[in-house]
Structure 1
Amino acid sequence: MKIRDLEKGKNIIVYDLGKSEHSEGMTIVGRVIELEYNEDGKNTATIQSVPFQRYTVTDDNYFDYWKDYIESKTERLSENGITVDKKHFDNIDEEHFHHKARVEAMHNAIEETRGYVNEYLSNDVQQRKRKDMVNSPSHYNRGKIEAIVIIEQIASAYPIKVALSIGNTVKYLIRAPFKNGVEDLKKAQWYLNRAIDNWDVK
């Protein structure tokens, strides 16, 4: 590819920017912002990379359009049996790809942080579950009103000597379908019988 083949505004990847006898140069991705055609054949392109670094590319450099580079990589992956849909690469901000090492490092840091956060949240969820089993167990919470409120309302209307038994009756009736089923219904029946037996006791 030559400078005359480039279009302004397109992204390119330069594989050997700054190449010399002592260095292989560096790989840079940038957007073509200027094209200069000289009569002596020494054409140049100025590319802008992130963060706003400008580089001069000549016909002596080895470069491709970024999109072609990505497509060649996805085709190579496909040939090796890994299916990669090229359309996923169409929306990538191409200017940022020369920061691949930074992106990978950030990705690794994010994944590590995500691990810590998930571990913390997992522990936090366990603590909340333990606390909820004391303060607000799920088998006593149906609808908008907690069971304890209903139990207190109903039991407070009864004489003190049977209020506890009535409260327990209501408690077991409320939780039966969500916890122990028939066993809770039998407990409710036992407490109701106790309330009946103690109703007239002086």
Structure 2
Amino acid sequence: MIYEGKEYKEVTDGSAEIGDLIHVTEVEGEVCDTWIFTLDDCINAPEVASYVGYGRTFLDIDTDEWVRYRYVRDVEELLSEHNVKDGDFFVIIDDTCAHGLSNGTIVRKSKRKASYAGMPITVLRSSINKFVNYKDVRKATEEDIDIARKTYNLIKQTDTVNSPSHYNQTKIEAIDIIEDVTAGYQSNVKYHIGNAIKYLIRAPFKNHTVEDLKKAVWYIQRAIEKLEGEK
């Protein structure tokens, strides 16, 4: 919940702290809509920063209704294509959208181009690539990233499964190049063209350059044979 540029979370464990944000909805039977901060850590009759009615500067659990919230963090600048970088980590905070990712899922901004659907992301340690609205995520904290590293055994922020270094030497990720190029080919040769591109991209960055180039040629030749066989 956002209030005056800060994020607050509803307190559900029955605790109370000085500075909690209280949303008062009823005082002695009268409906109201008041937001106010606590001045003490009393649970059932907290003193608050201003009058709530009837000359009182405190609430009473027997006569009043309220919900208690606690500060989480300052809200960052709204995310957009202008202030996110390739490789940045994010956390899904809205699982009601069409992307199908659950809250808490840690994702990473990929190098694919942004689209009308929002920011292109990759789910860690998977082959899942999606677009999410900027409002559906928040920037991951260092704690989030540390948990991700431990959970997924990420020694570096580079995911060696989804973005191996030999496929990540160009300005655009290999998978994005392959998807863009093969989109124009017939379905029966997409696989061959995709593999040819894969070997061409990685050839200069591995120790088997000639072998990779030969594999690329083999897949291209196979694609040609399939296309010629349809004539």
TM-score for both structures, normalised by structure 1: 0.36
Structure with bigger strand share is 2
TM-score for the superposition, normalised by structure 2: 0.32
Larger of the two Rg values belongs to structure: 1
Which structure dedicates a bigger proportion of its chain to helix? 1
